[in-house]
Amino acid sequence: MRIAFLVAPEGVEQVELTAPWKAVTETGDIPVLVSTKAGRIQAFNHLDKADTFPVDALVGDVSARDFGALVLPGGVANPDFLRTNEGAVALVKDFFELGLPVAAICHAPWTLVEADVLGGRTLTSWPSLRTDIRNAGGTHVDEPVRICEAGPNTLITSRNPDDLPEFCDALVTEFAKTGVPAS
């Protein structure tokens, strides 16, 4: 199955991209780096520049129908940029409308807030997003990982890089339930 990893051109927390990427690759799935700008994205280790990664596809050139699931890595700047990009927000909404699973870690739920897909859902995130999640109609919990099956799709969320083992286990398990074959 092809899995979209949606990131901004700059600001993604590197480990929140690379650990889930490795986890889905190990299952035989195909991760695809989707961004709003062609070329390479700049990852960060907190506030310090880290590695760059090649963009596989542009937001405007893909549809949620091209994938079986979506991963939204965090980093403060990454989701802050994505939530101001109309195409990125529309792509996220499409995953929810199609009932495809979505996984988001740390600050990534900011993009979900903007996409207006949190009503009636329970999720976790970086603590500073609690009020934003509540204001968007969601319920915030402080747990390493939360799987929410309210609504048309499964939403897997996690708080921070320390929770990556639980997050990666949950997302590969939930993604496997989609029944979409690897391609």
Q: What are the pLDDT digits (tens) for 90-120?
A: 999 999 999 999 999 999 999 999 999 999 9
Catalytic sites, residue numbers: 106-107
- Residue-wise pLDDT for 123-166, tens only, equals 999 999 999 999 999 999 999 999 999 888 999 999 999 999 99
Per CATH, the architecture of 2-176 is what?
Answer: 3-Layer(aba) Sandwich (3.40)
* Residue 160 and residue 106 in contact, taking contact as beta carbons nearer than 8 Å: yes
* pLDDT surpasses 60 at 182: no
Q: 74 to each of 2, 28, 81, how far by Cα in Å?
A: 20, 23, 11
* Residue 4 and residue 67 in contact, taking contact as beta carbons nearer than 8 Å: yes
User: What would the two tokens of residue 142 be?
Assistant: 């402080």
Question: Which three-class secondary structure state does DSSP give residue 70?
Answer: strand
What counts of helices (H) and strands (E) characterise the chain?
6, 12
Helices (H), 44-182: 77-82, 86-97, 109-115, 130-135, 164-176
User: What would the two tokens of residue 71 be?
Assistant: 């991963």
pTM for the model stands at: 0.97
* pLDDT surpasses 60 at 183: no
Angle formed at CA 11 by CA 101 and CA 50, multiple of 5 degrees: 110
Mean pLDDT within 59-64 = 98
Mean pLDDT for all residues in the chain: 96
* Residue 34 and residue 62 in contact, taking contact as beta carbons nearer than 8 Å: yes
